[in-house]
């Protein structure tokens, strides 16, 4: 009897240990939208909500776009395992108002600054085969998920900016089974001084899928709502000017019982080359959950009035045959 009890306890302990390697957020909808954005963000382990230097995107924090220098255009393509694809597209620009007085003279500083960021995330999976009741292939299934986002921000002072993202989701699971949703992000950034910035973001307010299978199965079909996890992020970044080193740290909690810590760094090794590294998704509430180390680089070249750049990032992905490769192009004009 004692030996049987020991075996039962060992089995329970092994089960708990195996379960601890997973997180509830992994099974929640919208996972593609939480993977990060672009080669720069992925290379810094997605710890970007407080970063105000370089090419910016409101995906990480709607308040960032007021700090964009010039017009930033970014696009990225991801090489993933299991026939998955993940693509990014973004344009960011800031607008300065009141730079000139009525007499035509220049103000030293604009009276107000606003920012705009618009982008797209596309995710899809290929090589799905549709089969009939006999198991015969009758066609292909091409599920996809898209997020279109529009971010607006206002700088209220030299220190404080606040932004708002509206996000439209359009996803297809199977033939006539599609879903749309409208979600929102709120973000703020406080610039303590020239080098230190703090951020606060709430993401995916009201985001959810509503799958309706009645068009497919008739009266046997159902309507299933699935809510995205709501994320709350606190971040800080510091720029060491003499070393040309940008560092960032971010804490993210969610209503899916996760407490993720992210750390990233970007080193300007010389004028046109940037090296990046970081650790994503260190769950301080579940240390058995696997982290995602990442690194990357960017090279930029000045073509007179246009600065063009090439971005690359690599992220180790748990439970996958190989890691993620993100290749991107950025243009600033």
In the chain, the percentage of residues whose pLDDT exceeds 70 is: 92
Strands (E), 32-105: 72-79, 84-97
Mean pLDDT of the chain: 89
**In angstroms, what CA-CA distances link 8 with 16, 33, 215?**
12, 40, 47
Distance between CA atoms of residues 224 and 178, nearest Å: 12
If one compares 264 and 133, the residue with the highest pLDDT of the two is 264
pLDDT tens per residue across span 271-286: 899 999 999 999 998 8
Confidence of residue 226 (pLDDT cuts 50, 70, 90): very high
Residue 54: the pLDDT is 95
Q: What does the pLDDT read at residue 224?
A: 83
Residues in Cβ contact with 46 at an 8 Å cutoff, skipping those fewer than 6 apart = 36, 37, 60, 250, 262, 264, 278, 280
- The confidence score (pLDDT) of residue 82 equals 85
Q: Where are the domains of the chain?
A: 36-332
Tokens 């292909």 belong to residue: 140
Check residue 21 and give its pLDDT: 59
| pLDDT number for residue 229 | 96
CA atoms of 137 and 126, how far apart (whole Å): 15
The string of pLDDT tens digits covering residues 9-33 is 444 444 444 445 567 788 899 999 9
Pairwise pLDDT comparison (302 vs 22), residue with the higher score: 302
Average pLDDT, integer, range 246-261: 96
pLDDT at residue 274, as a whole number: 98
Tell me if 200 sits within 8 A of 187, measured CB to CB: yes
Half-sphere exposure of residue 108: CA atoms within 13 angstroms, side-chain side: 0
Taking the model in full, what pTM does it have?
A: 0.87
- pLDDT confidence of residue 101: 67
CATH classification code of 36-332: 2.40.160.60
In this predicted model, what pLDDT tens digit does every residue of 74-130 receive, in sequence order? 999 999 998 899 999 999 999 998 876 666 667 778 888 999 999 999 999 887 777
pLDDT in tens, 156-186: 999 999 999 999 999 998 878 899 999 999 9
Confidence of residue 7 (pLDDT cuts 50, 70, 90): very low
């Amino acid at each position: 009897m004692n030996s049987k009890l020991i075996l039962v306890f060992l089995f329970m302990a092994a089960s708990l240990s195996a379960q601890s390697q997973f997180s509830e957020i992994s099974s929640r909808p919208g996972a593609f939208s939480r993977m990060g954005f672009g080669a720069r963000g992925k290379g810094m382990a997605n710890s970007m909500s407080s970063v105000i230097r370089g090419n910016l995107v409101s995906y990480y924090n709607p308040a960032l776009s007021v700090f964009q220098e010039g017009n930033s255009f970014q696009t990225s393509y991801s090489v993933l395992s299991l026939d998955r694809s993940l693509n990014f597209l973004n344009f960011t620009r800031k607008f300065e108002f009141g730079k000139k007085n009525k007499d035509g003279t220049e103000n030293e500083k604009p009276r107000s600054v606003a920012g705009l960021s618009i982008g797209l995330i596309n995710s899809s999976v290929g090589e799905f085969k549709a089969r009939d009741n006999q198991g015969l292939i009758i066609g292909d299934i091409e599920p996809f998920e898209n997020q279109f986002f529009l971010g607006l921000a206002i700088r209220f002072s030299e220190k404080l900016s606040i932004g708002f993202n509206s996000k439209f989701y359009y996803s297809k699971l199977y033939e006539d089974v599609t879903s749309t949703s409208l979600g929102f992000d709120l973000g703020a950034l406080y610039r303590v001084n020239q080098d230190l910035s703090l951020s606060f973001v709430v993401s995916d307010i009201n985001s959810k899928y509503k799958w309706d299978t009645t068009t497919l199965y008739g009266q046997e079909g159902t309507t299933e709502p699935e809510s995205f996890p709501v994320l709350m992020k606190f971040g800080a970044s510091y720029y060491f000017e003499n070393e040309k080193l940008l560092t960032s740290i971010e804490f993210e909690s969610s209503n899916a019982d996760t407490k993720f810590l992210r750390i990233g760094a970007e080193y300007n090794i010389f004028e046109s080359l940037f090296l990046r590294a970081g650790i994503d998704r260190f769950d301080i509430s579940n240390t058995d959950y696997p982290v995602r180390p990442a690194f990357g680089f960017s090279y930029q070249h000045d073509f007179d009035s246009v600065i063009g750049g090439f971005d690359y990032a690599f992220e180790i992905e748990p439970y996958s045959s190989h890691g993620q490769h993100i290749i991107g192009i950025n243009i600033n004009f």
